Amino acid sequence: MNANTDAESEMLVILPGLLCDGRMFAGQLAEFAGSQSIDGFYGGADRIAAMADYTLERMPSRCAVLGHSMGARVALEIARKAPDRVTRLALADTGIHLPRPGEREKRYALRDIGREQGFAALVDAWLPPMIGPAMRSDTDLLSQLRAMCLDAGQDVFEAQIEALLNRPDASDVLTEIACPVSLIVGADDAWSPVEQHREIAAAIGGCPLTIVPDAGHMAPAERPAAFNAAIRAWLA
């Protein structure tokens, strides 16, 4: 392996979740030299497999991959499609289950708020519960994340919820992952709770799980220092 490939394999590539881009991970991109976020809202893709293809076209030939929320499902699909390109895998604030009863109705209810009241109303209904109680009154944080989500727009939201509602079963991927895996979750993540991550760790066969105190689903932006400490431990 030449020096360039060595350096490339140490790069950190971040895969954002629903309505998110690199602005969600400003604290991580600033902390880890050479890291990159896969931006562009996956080109408007409406399937997880297409999001994985979009990412594979834009990431180094080999790198460490961190997926957050929906992005973790994309990361698992990359591990399925191209396991040789992933040197390490981190899954944050996510799940591996298939759609559960009521999920489709909840996502379509949000979709319809956007269609009927405008996309800003959708974001204002969806975003605050994604943030943990300890940070929900942080107006600067909320304003930054709100602006990011508004830039995604209704069409991206609708494409991404279709991707999530049609997500592939990732259970087979978990038993085949050969690279180091780490899990990270906000202690107050109401959408993807801690216990869900304990189940993922068990399915993988036991892997490190970091619980970020006083953080919700948007843990990377809510508690960047604690989230970065978990990344450093994983990269080490």
72: domain CATH number is 3.40.50.1820
Domain-located, residue 114: no
pLDDT at 83: 96
The structural domain count of the chain equals: 1
- Domain assignment of residue 61, yes or no: yes
Residue 7 falls inside a structural domain: yes
In a domain, 115, yes or no: no
Question: Which residues, at least 6 apart from 235, have a Cβ–Cβ distance to it below 8 Å?
Answer: 10, 12, 32, 64, 88
pTM for this predicted structure:
0.94
pLDDT tens for 31-78 read 999 999 999 999 999 999 999 999 999 999 999 999 999 999 999 999
Q: Does 207 reside within a domain?
A: yes
pLDDT tens digits for range 182-206: 999 999 999 999 999 999 999 998 8
Tell me if 133 is assigned to some domain: no
Q: Inform me whether the pLDDT recorded for 5 exceeds 90.
A: no
Under 8 Å between Cβ of 214 and 136: no
Task: Identify the domain containing residue 196 by its residue range.
Answer: 3-99+164-235
Pairing of strands 36-37, 86-92: unpaired
Residue 119 lies in a domain: no
User: Sorting pLDDT into bands at 50, 70 and 90, what band is 4?
Assistant: very low
